[in-house]
Structures are given as structure tokens and as C-alpha cells.
């Protein structure tokens, strides 16, 4: 159902329909440990850059945070009312973002397991989410045919110190119109571009403006017909973007886009 790899390419984590995750040695291909606890399919997983923490989301409506070294479950994050479709964790392992079939995203405190903010606004299943490397923005994609760019995570995270109940955000900073189901989103390592993949077979690339979004910013910088529904995007590079796109026809495309062109 899902997989992720550490920054140094030594460990792989996978999530399965058998309700477990497996941590693998990428060199030998052997299973280092099996993580059990979810009661439904494991639909998404992510691992921190230093390979110390794993987060997973499931059809059982929960997320789990794991110690990657021991394989023990540190805490269960509950609150979504439908399947967790996607999850991401910040580089410092303090914040988790999740997307769900209940049409919302949630921002979590990874230490306490509490919801800091529920992000509402999508009108259908939220299939994908991403967070910038500097933890300043969240991006989401939905079956409602839009990509949403949400406010600064640092400001949202400050709600952890508020004594009142969990706050809700019903407005994203920006709505990027796609017009077909969005199954994958990604943010470039420099935090300057958003990529989306959708059921209309199109990879779209938007530039994130340094100031307020304008009408011109809502139009993609690049649109690429990939020939099949896009279910996954991975991106690396700075001056030249190297993009891997996973397609519904069972193939992957490797693309390169020069910044500024």
C-alpha cells in the first residue's frame, strides 16, 4: 500500500494490506522488524530523516508513531472519523500531518499525540498531503479536484500552548484548481514549488510566491501529460528538478525540469 526510504537510503519502511509495517535493510533486502498494531490496512507511512521515528496511517482511522530502533509503538493518534489516506512528519519529528476520508487534515503534536488543528475546507476525500522542509506550509490534494495550500505551520503549532479546546481552520491560504481527483502532491526540497498528480493524467507544477498569491500564481508553471492516472510523486534537486511519477498503468516516469524554464 505504501513505502518510504530514509535519507541515507539504508532503511525502507513499507505498509501493507496485512495490517503491518515492515522495516527493511535496503542493502541486504532482509526484514529488520515487523510492526504490528493496526487493525486495518496500513495505507500510508513516513520516516524521519534521521530514521528514528516512523508514522503510519490506516483504514482503522488511526495513526501510530513508532520507535524505528526498537519497533515499539510510542502512541496512537485518534480523531479522524474515516480512513487515514496519507501522513507526513516534520524533519524534527515534532509535528505530524494526516489526510483522511473524513474530508479533513489534522496537525498533531507528535510528543503528546494530541490534535493541534483540524484543517477543514475540502469537500471530499483528502488523498494526499505534504509539508515543507522548514515546516512553514502544508499542501493537500483531494477528490474534490483541488490542491489547497494551508497557513504557516509554525503559527498553527503555537496552539499547543493554548488552554482551550482544539482549534479548527476552515480556510486554506490558497485553492489551486485542478478539476479532477488529486491523488498525489509533493513540495520541492527548497520549498519553492508544489507538484500535483491527478486522474486527468496531468502533472502540474506551481511556483509558491514570496508574497500574496496572485491570479497569475494560480496557473501552473508546467503541465505534463503523463498518459495515465498519477498516484505518486517523488521529487529531488534544486536548480534542476528530478521527478519520479508513479502511474496507474503500472509504470513510473522519470522527468527532469529546469527551474525557471
Owner of C-alpha cell 492516472 = 229
Q: Is the pLDDT of residue 21 over 90?
A: yes
pTM above 0.85, yes or no: yes
Q: Where are the beta strands (DSSP E) in 79-229?
A: 84-89, 95-100, 105-109, 115-119, 126-131, 138-142, 146-150, 167-169, 174-177, 182-187, 193-198, 202-207, 222-225
The residues facing 25 across adjacent strands are 11
**Average pLDDT score, the chain:** 87
Q: Cα torsion at 116, 4, 10, 92 (round to 10°)?
A: -10
| Residues 133-143, mean pLDDT to the nearest whole number | 87
**Rounded to the nearest 5 degrees, what angle is found at the Cα of 177, between the Cα atoms of 101 and 139?**
55
How many alpha carbons lie under 13 Å from residue 19 in its C-beta half-sphere? 8
Q: Is the pLDDT of residue 151 over 60?
A: yes
Give me the phi and psi of 246, to 5 degrees please: -95, 130
Contacts for 202 with CB less than 8 Å, ≥ 6 apart? 178, 180, 223, 224, 225, 226, 230
Structural domains in the chain?
2-182+205-228 (2.130.10.10)
Q: Is the pLDDT of residue 169 over 70?
A: no
Give the residue with greater pLDDT, 257 vs 231: 231
Cβ pair 47, 4 in contact under 8 A: yes
pLDDT given for residue 8 in this prediction: 82
Sheet holding 252-258, edge to edge: 230-236, 240-247, 252-258
| Residues 40-66, mean pLDDT to the nearest whole number | 94
Question: What would the pLDDT profile of 176-201 be if each residue is shown by its tens digit?
Answer: 999 999 999 999 988 889 999 999 99
| Residues 221-231, mean pLDDT to the nearest whole number | 95
Give me the phi and psi of 147, to 5 degrees please: -110, 135
Give the residue with greater pLDDT, 242 vs 153: 242
Owner of C-alpha cell 533486502 = 29
Between 51-65, 74-88, 117-131, 204-218, the lowest mean confidence (pLDDT) is in 204-218
Residue 72 burial class via C-beta count within 10 angstroms: exposed 0-12, middle 13-18, buried 19 and up: exposed
pLDDT given for residue 154 in this prediction: 46
Amino acid at each position: 500500500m505504501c513505502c518510504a526510504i530514509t535519507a541515507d537510503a539504508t532503511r525502507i519502511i513499507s505498509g501493507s494490506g496485512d495490517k503491518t509495517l515492515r522495516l527493511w535493510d535496503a542493502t541486504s533486502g532482509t526484514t529488520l522488524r515487523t510492526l504490528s498494531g493496526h487493525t486495518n490496512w496500513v495505507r500510508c507511512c513516513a520516516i524521519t530523516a534521521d530514521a528514528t521515528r516512523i508514522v503510519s496511517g490506516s483504514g482503522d482511522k488511526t495513526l501510530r508513531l513508532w520507535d524505528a530502533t526498537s519497533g515499539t509503538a510510542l502512541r496512537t493518534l485518534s480523531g479522524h472519523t474515516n480512513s487515514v489516506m496519507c501522513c507526513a512528519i516534520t524533519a524534527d519529528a515534532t509535528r505530524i500531518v494526516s489526510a483522511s476520508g473524513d474530508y479533513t487534515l489534522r496537525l498533531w503534536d507528535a510528543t503528546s499525540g494530541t490534535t493541534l488543528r483540524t484543517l477543514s475546507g475540502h469537500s471530499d476525500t483528502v488523498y494526499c498531503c505534504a509539508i515543507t522542509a522548514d515546516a512553514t506550509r502544508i499542501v493537500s490534494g483531494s477528490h474534490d479536484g483541488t490542491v489547497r495550500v494551508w497557513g504557516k505551520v509554525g503559527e498553527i503549532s503555537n496552539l499547543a500552548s493554548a488552554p482551550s479546546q482544539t482549534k479548527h481552520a476552515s480556510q486554506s491560504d490558497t485553492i489551486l484548481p485542478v478539476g479532477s481527483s488529486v491523488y498525489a502532491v509533493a513540495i520541492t526540497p527548497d520549498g519553492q514549488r508544489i507538484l500535483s498528480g491527478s486522474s486527468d493524467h496531468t502533472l502540474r507544477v506551481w511556483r509558491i510566491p514570496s508574497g500574496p498569491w496572485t491570479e497569475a500564481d494560480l496557473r501552473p508553471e508546467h503541465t505534463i501529460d503523463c498518459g495515465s492516472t498519477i498516484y505518486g510523486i517523488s521529487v529531488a534537486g534544486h536548480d534542476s528538478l528530478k521527478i519520479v511519477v508513479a502511474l496507474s498503468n503500472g509504470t513510473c516516469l522519470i522527468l527532469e525540469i529546469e527551474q525557471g524554464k
